[in-house]
Amino acid sequence: MGLLPRTRSCRELAPKLYRLLSWAALILALFLIFEAAHELARPSSTKTTPPNSHTQQPDKNYADHLRGIASKLTWASQEPDPLYIYKPLGSEGEQFPSSERAKIGKCTVLFGSHAYAYHAALDTHVKHNQLHHYPAYVLDRSIQDDLWSKQAAILEILLLEMEKPAEDRLQWLAWFDADHMIINPSVPLEAFLPPPDMAGVQALFARDWNGLNDGAFMIRVSAWSIELMTAVLAYRVWFPDVSLPWSEQSAMQIVLGEDDFVKGAVYVPPRWFNAYPDGDPLYKVQPGNMGLHFAGVGNKGEAMEEWLYKVEKDKAEWVVPLDRSNLTSQIRWFWDGVKMELHGE
C-alpha cells in the first residue's frame, strides 16, 4: 500500500471547532491529572508475580523461559490509576546522582494476546533502562478503544512532566509498542537526539511503505507535543467520515501534515530504533541496531520468542558497542543533511 491519501486541511474544514475541542480536551486532561495526583497521594500497594518454578533453559523450552522472565518482574502500582511507573526488580528506592538525572523517559503498554512474549520484550527494555538510567511508564490496561490508549497515555505523561519545574522535567519521551524489543542495549537513546542548535525539532518518527509507523518514536516534552496528542485524540471526533485505515496511526499522520505540526517532526531512518524482522533492506534489522519492532507480523508471539532466543544465543553478533559501529557517524551525517535542507543549502 502507498501513503495515505491527502485530505483537506483541518483549518479549512472546521478551524474554530477543531481548536475548541483541542483546548477542551486539554482542560479535561488536566482535570484528570489532578484527580490522579490525589489518588497517588494514597499509600501504594506492590504487586509481585509468584515465582515460576518451571523455568527452563532457552534451548529446552523457550516459552517456559519467557514466562520465567515474566515471573521475576516486580510492579510498583498506584491503584486504581492504570498508568504507573514501572520499576525493575531490586530498583525500589534507588536514587541516581543529580549529574545522572534522566533526560529521557520511556512509555509503553503491557496487555494483549501475547502477554508472556510482551513481558519478555519488556525485560529487554528493563536492561536498557538500568544501563542508561531511563525511568519508564507502563500502561497495563486499555483506557481508550482500539489503539487510542497510546496518545492518551502520552498526553498524561506530558502533562505530569510539564507541571514540574523546568530543571526537574524529562526532556524527551520515547514511546515503544508492546511488540518492540531492545536487541542492542549498548546504544543509548541520546545518540539519536537532534543537535542542541535544532530546538525546533519536536519529534522523531519513522516511515515504512504504508507511511508513518508510530510503534516507536521520540517526542520532546513541550507544549507542541501536548497540542499534537490533543489534536490526534480529537481528530476522529470532529472528522468521523475521514477514513483511518490504521486507526490512531492514520490520524497521527494526517495531523502531522497540518501547518501547526509539519515543521516540528523529522522522519529518521527506520533502523535507528524501529527496524523490522524482515522485508526491504531500508527497514530490515541489522547487527548493531538498537531495537526491533514486530509490526504486522502474523504469529507475533512465536516470532518474538524466536528473536529473543536468537539474540541471546548470538550476542556477539547483535550487541555491538556504539564506539565499534558507524552509527554515530551516520547520525551526524543525517542531522547535517537536515540542517542543510532547513537552511536551503
Q: What is the pLDDT of residues 222-257, one digit of tens each?
A: 999 999 999 999 999 999 999 999 999 999 999 999
pLDDT digits (tens, 9 = 90+) for 109-144: 887 777 778 888 999 999 999 999 999 898 888 888
pLDDT score of 271 more than 60: yes
Using alpha carbons, list the distances in angstroms from residue 270 to 192, 199, 211: 12, 22, 12
DSSP string, 160-195: HHHTS-GGGS-SEEEEE-TTEEES-TTS-GGGGSPP
* Domains in the chain with CATH codes: 10-91+100-342 (3.90.550.10)
Exposure string for 27-51, b = 16+ CB within 10 A, e = fewer = eebeeebeebeeeeeeeeeeeeeee
Residue 25: which pLDDT band, with cuts at 50, 70 and 90?
low
Residue 51 and residue 76: Cα distance in Å, rounded? 17
Q: How long is the chain?
A: 345
Residue 121 and residue 66: Cα distance in Å, rounded? 9
Average pLDDT for 191-205 = 96
Retrieve residue 84's grid coordinates.
504507573
Q: Which helix (H) or strand (E) holds 136?
A: strand 136-139
Write down the pTM of the prediction: 0.75
Residue 82 and residue 175: Cα distance in Å, rounded? 17
Parallel, antiparallel, or unpaired for β 203-208 and 265-267?
parallel
> How confident is the prediction for the chain on average, in pLDDT?
78
Average pLDDT for 10-20 = 50
Q: Taking a C-beta distance cutoff of 8 angstroms, is the pair 99, 68 a contact?
A: no
Average pLDDT for 277-283 = 90
Predicted local confidence at residue 249, as pLDDT: 96
pLDDT score of 343 more than 50: yes
One-letter amino acid at 153 equals: A
pLDDT score of 149 more than 70: yes
pLDDT digits (tens, 9 = 90+) for 32-83: 544 544 444 443 333 333 333 333 334 445 445 444 444 444 333 333 333 3
Residue 311 and residue 308: Cα distance in Å, rounded? 5
Predicted local confidence at residue 142, as pLDDT: 83
Partnered with residue 182 across adjacent β-strands are 291
